[in-house]
Amino acid sequence: MLQDIEPHLACPHCAQHLALDGRTLRCPAGHSFDQARQGYVSLLPGDAHTGTGDTAEMVAARADFLAAGHYLPIAEALAEAASAAFDGRSEGRAEGLVADLGAGTGHYLAHVLDRLDGPAGAALDISKYALRRAARAHPRIGAVVCDAWRPLPLLDGCADLVLNVFAPRNGPEIRRVLRPGGRLLLVAPTGRHLRELVSGLGLLSVDEEKERRIDEKLSPWLGLLDRTEVEFTLRLSRTDAAAVVGMGPNAWHTAPDRLAAALDALPEPVEVTGSVRLAVYG
């Protein structure tokens, strides 16, 4: 809930601490932000644009796909890594924070919080449609609309962990909000991820240099500590295959008529490779 993450929130205008007053967040400079009835709060500055956020249709597709358990191996690997990272924290940090940058529906953050005892979770995303779901995904999640490429509405050094799953990565801001000794857990697809659908449906492919480019962009602020590969097999119906297309970037780039024809040509179920790398930075 919003009160769980209130001690860690910063005003997007002046960077001072935001305090919760009823259903309104206020800073000492007089800026205020009302909580929406769906449970999230928008901390976007007035000149922000939300056109890159996931649409209601994309969010619904993602929620259905994730609820079916297709990406459970990713969620479990992330929760295990989070538990290992939290084992090294100092005693008495039940007030700690896990921030999920690009949290979407809060699916992965909820899995992590289920594994950890005590910390709150800040679900950060630019899509209000996603955050309506994230606000209900776990009792300790507070959902905040923000832009990953601008200063994050979090205080300096407040986060024990930052999660980043298939999402934008803002290296300097991640470094700023992590406490000393904090960790970034980053999940990115390999070139084998969904390869059967990439070839069969003509989807966007993953750049083979993606891993190197991520490391280079983060290296001024964070160093790579560990990297593991998570690979598994999905058995998808055509409806599931349509959902995995509709929940990500391919939703913006795939013509509906062509996609429908390609989906009809798939076997059912279709076996698809899931392949990601989970990297730990600190």
Which pLDDT tens digit goes with each residue over 155-189?
Answer: 999 999 999 999 999 999 999 999 999 999 999 99
Contact criterion met (CB below 8 Å) for 131 and 144: yes
- Higher-pLDDT residue of 195 and 54 is 195
**How far apart, in whole angstroms, are the C-alpha atoms of residue 2 and residue 140?**
8
**How far apart, in whole angstroms, are the C-alpha atoms of residue 178 and residue 173?**
9
Contact criterion met (CB below 8 Å) for 185 and 280: yes
CATH number at residue 233: 3.40.50.150
Residues 6+ apart with CB under 8 A from 264: 238
**Range with lowest mean pLDDT among 102-111, 221-230, 245-254, 272-281:** 245-254
Q: Which pLDDT belongs to residue 90? A: 46
Residue 159 structural domain: 2-281
Which pLDDT tens digit goes with each residue over 202-217?
Answer: 776 677 778 889 988 9
pLDDT at position 92 over 50: no
Average pLDDT, the chain: 89
pLDDT at position 55 over 90: no
φ and ψ at residue 87, rounded to 5 degrees: -60, -25
Q: How far is CA 102 from the centre of its chain?
A: 3
Which pLDDT tens digit goes with each residue over 1-11?
Answer: 888 999 999 99
Q: Best-predicted range by mean pLDDT among 38-52, 63-77, 87-101?
A: 63-77
pLDDT at position 218 over 60: yes
Number of separate domains in the chain: 1
What pTM value is reported for the model?
A: 0.92
Contact criterion met (CB below 8 Å) for 104 and 125: yes
